[in-house]
Chains A and B, each alone.
Chain A
């Protein structure tokens, strides 16, 4: 599995479009689109995203890491994932 930051971003974008945007709007979603503060995902969808990340990248979020500071855009999430993967 490649884990370059670009591939992480593409994978997240793909998941968000499929799961949260009904396969539409691939153009208007960019890597900086605010996900939580933009009202795009609520607490339940946020947890679905967390589970997807945990299963795809094989690590666990600790309780305090499930936070807007780590999850509010594709760029932010990708940086967080990379930090976790690099231990």
Chain B
């Protein structure tokens, strides 16, 4: 039910109930609900005074921090939408995003300010961050009720912005609240970066429960031993991450040295968790309740599977049944096909890309259906099983990656004549990206050189695992790159 509740109302309600309770913990800093609310109101006033108003958008370009979360609420308090930027991604990619989404203000770390001085002027500071004001005041108005835009990989070669409304996000938050047994005394992890949709659960469900959130910063997020230490010392009880991270902790986190007894709920999403790897984790942490959550950024979680009977699991963990706030169906025959999702929690659409929105959201029987692009089948207990994709999007370490975005980015380099990317499963069952490169520049014919070049052009998670240098790419009879032949070459 949409009662007009906004995401920032969640903080206001928690302050009323538990003002002195710890809201956020980040490295050695702690902030209470009262102080977090005050900090976000300070930013709200600053932004309002500089002219940020309803229907605007404001981006946050920073590493994860308490100030980042306060900024999210400060922006939402202005009835504006927030756009989290991946500070670890290359500047050029982020410049594209910032230019694309026509923000009125930019909250940014000092070290990045110089890259935006042409379009923005420094207005003031907010804690350790700078607030820049867009020199151009002739900006588009957001769609009604817009709360945030999350940018994901785009097949055009540029990232695309997924627009989410308050009412859509609130129905997800409310679904989580009624599905998982959460308490005010819980301690939530915030492992995912804020530009990743897993963070919507971490931040907003935690704050709805007036619980405490441990913000895991980028320098810790991929260090298994530090993660084990955090879970143990801060008594984290609710964990949400990709299977890749759970595996990293399991394999390298030295679990035997740390106390995981407080972990009671472990949620994972973003990619397939191979069953044998999951069972290893389950054997080490058997007291936790596990859920496999499924959903593209465009819908957030839309299917879920509670893992309760290990014996019933053979081969794979299902993505389960559709969440109560959605309905689903399969195209083509009724046993295997593309999964379609309908419900009020769907994204509003892609920012500035109406034709793509109309391709992905179709109308049938007076309902809006989002075409997920994921092929699923149904098992004997009516659970969906993920089978693959209809296109060239892949999942790696929980990130969705359009292979076309990497290809088009690499082709911008003057010495790369052509290139083609494929993905394959590694022995550990993770997606590996192999890049075939045609170049005459001898210096570039090196894995070290190519990886270092990619570091400058692409986010880290998009860097191919392997490079194969070839004189030409195989072509099909219809004069397209013969990807199947390339896949066969790597087997």
Give the B-binding residues of A (Cβ under 8 A).
Answer: 21-22, 24-25, 28-29, 33-34, 37-40, 42-44, 47, 50-51, 61-64, 66-67
> Do B252 and A51 touch (CB < 8 A)?
yes
> Do A47 and B251 touch (CB < 8 A)?
yes
Q: Find chain A residues with CB under 8 A from B223 CB.
A: 43, 63, 66-67
Give the A-binding residues of B (Cβ under 8 A).
Answer: 219, 222-226, 228-229, 244, 248, 251-252, 446-449, 451-452, 454-455, 460, 463, 466
Given A25-B448, A33-B448, A50-B252, A39 and B455 contact (CB-CB distance below 8 Å): yes
> Do A21 and B452 touch (CB < 8 A)?
no
Q: Which of A21, A50, A66 contacts B448 (CB 8 A)?
A: A21
Main secondary structure of the interface of A (DSSP, over half): loop
> Do A66 and B452 touch (CB < 8 A)?
no
> Do B451 and A40 touch (CB < 8 A)?
yes
Total contacts A to B, CB within 8 angstroms? 56
23 contacts across the A-B interface (CB closer than 8 A): A22-B447, A22-B466, A25-B448, A28-B448, A29-B448, A38-B448, A38-B452, A39-B463, A40-B447, A40-B448, A40-B451, A40-B452, A42-B460, A42-B463, A43-B222, A43-B248, A47-B224, A62-B225, A63-B225, A63-B226, A64-B226, A66-B225, A67-B219
> Do A25 and B252 touch (CB < 8 A)?
no
> Do A37 and B225 touch (CB < 8 A)?
no
Min Cβ gap B192→A in Å is 14
Main secondary structure of the interface of B (DSSP, over half): helix
> Do A25 and B447 touch (CB < 8 A)?
yes
Query: Can you name 19 extra interface pairs (CB under 8 A) apart from A25-B447, A44-B248, A50-B252?
Result: A24-B447, A28-B449, A34-B452, A38-B448, A38-B452, A39-B451, A39-B455, A40-B447, A40-B448, A40-B451, A43-B222, A47-B248, A47-B251, A47-B252, A61-B225, A62-B225, A63-B228, A66-B223, A66-B224
Taken together as a complex, chains A and B put the C-alpha atoms of A37 and B225 apart, in Å, by 20
Given A44-B248, A51-B252, A38 and B225 contact (CB-CB distance below 8 Å): no
> Do A39 and B224 touch (CB < 8 A)?
no
Taken together as a complex, chains A and B put the C-alpha atoms of A64 and B223 apart, in Å, by 9
> Do A38 and B455 touch (CB < 8 A)?
yes
> Do A63 and B451 touch (CB < 8 A)?
no
Taken together as a complex, chains A and B put the C-alpha atoms of A67 and B222 apart, in Å, by 10
Taken together as a complex, chains A and B put the C-alpha atoms of A34 and B456 apart, in Å, by 13
Taken together as a complex, chains A and B put the C-alpha atoms of A64 and B225 apart, in Å, by 8
> Do A39 and B251 touch (CB < 8 A)?
no
Taken together as a complex, chains A and B put the C-alpha atoms of A39 and B466 apart, in Å, by 12
> Do A21 and B447 touch (CB < 8 A)?
yes
Q: Find chain B residues with CB under 8 A from A39 CB.
A: 451-452, 454-455, 460, 463
Min Cβ gap A65→B in Å is 9
Q: Find chain A residues with CB under 8 A from B244 CB.
A: 44
Closest 9 CB pairs of A and B: A43-B222, A63-B225, A39-B455, A39-B451, A47-B252, A38-B452, A63-B226, A28-B446, A39-B463
Closest residue on chain A to residue B456 by CB atoms: A39
Min Cβ gap B490→A in Å is 12
Most B Cβ at <10 Å: residue of A29, A39, A50: A39
Min Cβ gap A80→B in Å is 15
Q: Find chain B residues with CB under 8 A from A44 CB.
A: 244, 248
Taken together as a complex, chains A and B put the C-alpha atoms of A21 and B451 apart, in Å, by 11
Taken together as a complex, chains A and B put the C-alpha atoms of A64 and B228 apart, in Å, by 12
Taken together as a complex, chains A and B put the C-alpha atoms of A40 and B466 apart, in Å, by 10
Q: Find chain A residues with CB under 8 A from B248 CB.
A: 43-44, 47
